[in-house]
């Protein structure tokens, strides 16, 4: 009966979001209420679970999400996004430009939303394809996969931030191992997959003579943020978080230096300092008052925070009914490790309702109580959930149509390039995590 209620709730959620176009925030809250009532929970328990799930989720990550979006808006408005791509092309070389696009996607998606970043950078992909003769599908797949990995896996984007908070994973360790797993995932799913399948799936784009004598013009003329500065501003708060984690492990407890490192390495403080640094360093490139850009970022952050909190409410109801425990116990009877279960459940929810953030937040809320009980690594389980949200982007996902429309691909071509590429990237990330799990007792920060 619990599984029937759970599946019925997922179907209801899908219908509301996909067919009836209900906002995910409202759909998640309504579905939470329905599941609670159908499972026979007392009214007070339903209300308290929704409230505590919402508040608990945002209490740990709300400030970080808001600050991360502000940082992304500042970089977007000052041209830092395009300049990161130009920098990567100059350093890696035009001959390896698909690789440069994939790595650019991973970096840019940390502060900038997928849709906006893809629309900006796909123009560069088109230009490079025309000039070099490299099939466009290689650039589109590399860019799209890199962006979705950055969006789903690397903090401080909302999804992974929510996952790390829900599973109580150390933020510094989560960042470190997310990068370790993200790079091979982007290379395999974004670069290697598109290279091996371009001739088979996109023969009309192949056969052109390669021309790699292409000069990458920075095009800034002093009006846009340099790519090196943009990368530095993205990495600055991440570095502070890593310093705080390393200091906690290496320095003497209670020392002044350890306390300072712990303070600046706190996720909220690190992101705040990152925004302050961006406001100072980017001021000369502002084309609008800083207050206007921050206000625009706040408008974006509002809906993200609502959806993230509602996902926490949905997960809290699932756990209050006992459905979460039942799912974990059932999978354990089939000897399915929690890492694989997190990946599968996140992938199912991603494919079912389209939103990667909703899939990540909901899965993390369902599985978080079981991680300590089975002795699993919260970092690896959390990252498996994140990689589950990378693949299987279907037509119920807005990102699918962004790739489709701005790349000029047909529906089947979008499925082959974007959906399958992301799926392979997610599986690659899972494979890396399973390898890491074999050494989790000796690797720092995993337990």
- Between helix 323-333 and helix 356-374 the angle, nearest 10°, is 70
Pull the structure tokens for residue 201: 């799936």
Q: What pLDDT, on the 0 to 100 scale, is given for residue 3?
A: 84
Pull the structure tokens for residue 211: 């021309």
Alpha-carbon dihedral sign for residues 445, 157, 106, 71:
negative
Do 162 and 365 touch, CB atoms closer than 8 A? no
CA distance 180 to 232: 19
Do 121 and 104 touch, CB atoms closer than 8 A? yes
3-class secondary-structure state, position 132 = helix
Do 238 and 108 touch, CB atoms closer than 8 A? no
Segment 232-248 mean pLDDT: 89
**216 pLDDT tier (thresholds 50, 70, 90):** low
**445 pLDDT tier (thresholds 50, 70, 90):** confident
CA distance 12 to 94: 48
String of DSSP letters for 40-72: T--HHHHHHHHHHHHHHHHHHHHHHHHHHHHHH
**383 pLDDT tier (thresholds 50, 70, 90):** very high
Residue 217 has pLDDT above 60, yes or no: no
Q: What pLDDT, on the 0 to 100 scale, is given for residue 246?
A: 84
- 244-289 pLDDT per residue, tens: 888 887 888 888 999 999 999 998 999 999 999 999 999 999 988 9
Q: What does the mean pLDDT of the chain come to? A: 88
**223 pLDDT tier (thresholds 50, 70, 90):** confident
DSSP-derived letter for residue 393 is -
Residue 155 has pLDDT above 60, yes or no: yes
Most confidently modeled range among 157-161, 378-382, 412-416: 378-382
3-class secondary-structure state, position 278 = helix
Most confidently modeled range among 53-67, 70-84, 299-313: 70-84
CA distance 194 to 105: 15
Residue 218 has pLDDT above 60, yes or no: no
ω into 198 cis (within 30 of 0): no
Do 262 and 248 touch, CB atoms closer than 8 A? yes
Pull the structure tokens for residue 298: 């706040």
Do 356 and 394 touch, CB atoms closer than 8 A? no
Out of 27-41, 74-88, 274-288, least confident range: 74-88
> Which among 444, 414, 431, 258 is positioned nearest to 340, based on CA atoms?
431
Integer CA distances (angstroms), 139 to 109, 185, 195, in order = 16, 16, 10
- 334-369 pLDDT per residue, tens: 788 899 999 999 998 888 777 888 889 889 988 888
- 300-340 pLDDT per residue, tens: 888 888 888 888 888 889 889 888 778 777 777 778 889 99
- 105-124 pLDDT per residue, tens: 999 988 888 888 888 888 88
CA distance 377 to 60: 20
**220 pLDDT tier (thresholds 50, 70, 90):** low
CA distance 294 to 168: 30
Alpha-carbon dihedral sign for residues 120, 92, 239, 381:
positive
Q: What pLDDT, on the 0 to 100 scale, is given for residue 380?
A: 96
**Helix intervals (H) in 251-375:** 256-264, 267-281, 290-321, 323-333, 338-353, 356-374
> Which among 294, 387, 360, 364 is positioned nearest to 24, based on CA atoms?
360
Q: What pLDDT, on the 0 to 100 scale, is given for residue 211?
A: 59
pLDDT cut 70: percent of the chain above it: 96
3-class secondary-structure state, position 376 = coil
Residue 222 has pLDDT above 80, yes or no: no
CA distance 300 to 348: 26
């Amino acid at each position: 009966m619990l599984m029937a209620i759970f599946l019925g709730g997922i179907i209801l959620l899908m219908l509301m979001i996909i067919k009836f176009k209900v906002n995910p925030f409202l759909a998640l809250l309504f579905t939470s209420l329905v599941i609670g009532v159908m499972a026979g929970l007392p009214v007070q328990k339903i209300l308290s679970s929704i409230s505590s799930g919402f508040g608990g989720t945002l209490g740990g990550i709300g400030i970080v999400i808001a600050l991360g979006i502000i940082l992304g808006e500042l970089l977007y408005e000052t041209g830092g996004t395009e300049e990161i791509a130009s920098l990567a092309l100059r350093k890696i070389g035009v001959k390896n430009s698909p690789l440069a696009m994939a790595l650019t996607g991973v970096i840019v998606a940390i502060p900038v939303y997928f849709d906006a970043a893809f629309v900006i950078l796909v123009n560069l992909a088109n230009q490079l394809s025309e000039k070099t003769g490299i099939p466009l599908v290689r650039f589109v797949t590399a860019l799209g996969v890199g962006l979705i990995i950055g969006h789903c896996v690397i903090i401080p984007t909302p999804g992974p931030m929510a996952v790390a908070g829900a599973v109580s994973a150390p933020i510094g360790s989560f960042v470190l191992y997310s990068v370790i797993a993200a790079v091979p995932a982007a290379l395999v799913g974004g670069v290697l997959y598109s290279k091996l399948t371009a001739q088979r799936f996109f023969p009309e784009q192949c056969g052109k003579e390669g021309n790699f004598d292409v000069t990458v013009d920075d095009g800034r003329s002093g009006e846009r943020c340099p790519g090196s500065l943009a990368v530095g501003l993205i990495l600055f708060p991440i570095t502070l978080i890593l310093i705080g984690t390393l200091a906690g492990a290496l320095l003497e407890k209670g020392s002044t230096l350890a306390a300072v490192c712990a303070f600046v390495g706190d996720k909220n403080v690190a992101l705040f300092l990152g925004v302050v640094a961006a406001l100072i360093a980017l001021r000369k490139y502002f084309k609008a008052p800083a207050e206007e850009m921050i206000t625009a970022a706040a408008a974006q952050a509002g809906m993200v925070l609502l959806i993230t909190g509602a996902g926490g409410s949905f997960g809290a109801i699932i756990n209050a009914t006992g459905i979460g425990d039942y799912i974990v116990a059932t999978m354990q009877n089939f000897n399915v490790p929690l890492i694989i279960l997190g990946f599968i459940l996140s992938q199912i929810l991603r494919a079912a309702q389209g939103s990667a953030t909703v899939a990540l937040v909901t899965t993390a809320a369902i599985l978080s109580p079981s991680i300590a009980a089975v002795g699993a690594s919260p970092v690896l389980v959390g990252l498996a959930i994140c990689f589950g949200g990378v693949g299987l982007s279907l037509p119920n996902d807005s990102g699918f149509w962004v790739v489709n429309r701005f790349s000029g691909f047909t529906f089947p071509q979008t499925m082959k390039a974007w959906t399958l590429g992301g799926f392979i990237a997610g599986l690659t990330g899972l494979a890396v995590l399973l390898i890491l799990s074999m050494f989790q007792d000796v690797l720092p920060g995993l337990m």
